[in-house]
A and B are shown apart, each in its own frame.
Chain A
């Protein structure tokens, strides 16, 4: 089924991504978007309708940049200095505001203070020692899965700790339930396991989700998972197979759910037929 938009809306947009291209390369983000709502996938990846980042995405991006600086600093054996990261945080926050039109739900100053407080808390509570040198930081990787009859898998690993533990940082407003978190992020974690193994010829030591929780009193929830299992890899490959089939069929139908309330394509979705 082909989703149809008002022609006026589509005008002046970038050239849509051909579905053949989208079938050749996948990432955890694409797979998750596909599983969440195929019409959302259509708007985001096929039509590439531009949307400004949400406030939460903006905060997450800045926090990731600070964490990247911190990880690289340990690699370069630099002493830890909170002031340096605070200065980086402040400059990036200001700089990126110039190019991003963020619609702040709450007071921006409060958001900014809360974001920094959460990072400060992370630096105090992190299980990563100050002298632990990483194996990789914010590194893009890809795996050719053609021998499985599957597309190329791409992804970016936030951090690989010494010894091969893959860490993904999450900045969130709600305290996660560990079991639910593992389930919700299974696709992403499985992708990371497959990518790491392909890139290093080694099995990962494990995976960790570091949730930086932006509650009034910030929290850090670390969820540890063992190396991905054969079953998880098979589940991922089946999802990829289903994705390729669905994109090939142009099966772009909506999936109305509670999640639609925050969807950036809600208006377009309501017009779709």
Chain B
């Protein structure tokens, strides 16, 4: 006895960069090898028709995800704004603390800088604001980045940089 295992799968794009997919797997037995081609063709038609009939039903479609809910995945801290949580990413938090420690900076000055530029404390800075503070700190305190910031060296040295 010969077992013929067939599978048909289809994935379709949906609005809002969603997609859904459906597949059917079917096992059947055939008596001899001469039947393989015929049976395979028949099963292909059958599976395709079955998948097509079902996949037309789109089912649940997410409406536009609120922007607030898109963020935070993989970036650590989410959006709790308690006293001890940071709004920026873990990486940014670590970098700010590292710069402060390495250059023995006064945390009050960093706090004042954040207040001056963004009207909020360092921990409340979002990722954009934290990135800006990091740029300013690097520009002012890194020996290798004096002058016009670390980005301009690469602005026209495009290879691998941006």
Contacts and interface: CB of A to CB of B under 8 A. Distances in A.
Contacts of A44: 158-160
B128 A141 contact: yes
Contact of A234 (B16, B67, B126, B157): B16
A48 B17 contact: no
B73 interface: yes
Contacts of B148: 65, 68-69, 92
Contacts of B17: 148, 233-234, 237
Interface in B16-55: 16-17
A137 B151 CA distance: 11
Task: Give the size range of A's interface with the partner.
Answer: 35 or more
B75 interface: yes
Task: Give the size range of B's interface with the partner.
Answer: 20 to 34
A234 B14 CA distance: 11
Nearest to A100: B156
Interface string A26-63: 01111001000000000011001111010001101100
Contact of A48 (B127, B132, B151, B159): B159
B162 interface: yes
Contacts of A141: 127-128, 131
Contacts of B121: none
B151 A140 contact: yes
A144 B152 CA distance: 24
A45 B149 contact: no
A57 B152 contact: no
Contacts of B75: 144
A178 B73 CA distance: 36
Interface of A: 17, 27-30, 33, 44-45, 48-51, 53, 57-58, 60-61, 64-65, 68-69, 75, 92, 100, 135-141, 144, 146-148, 154-157, 160, 196-203, 230, 233-234, 237
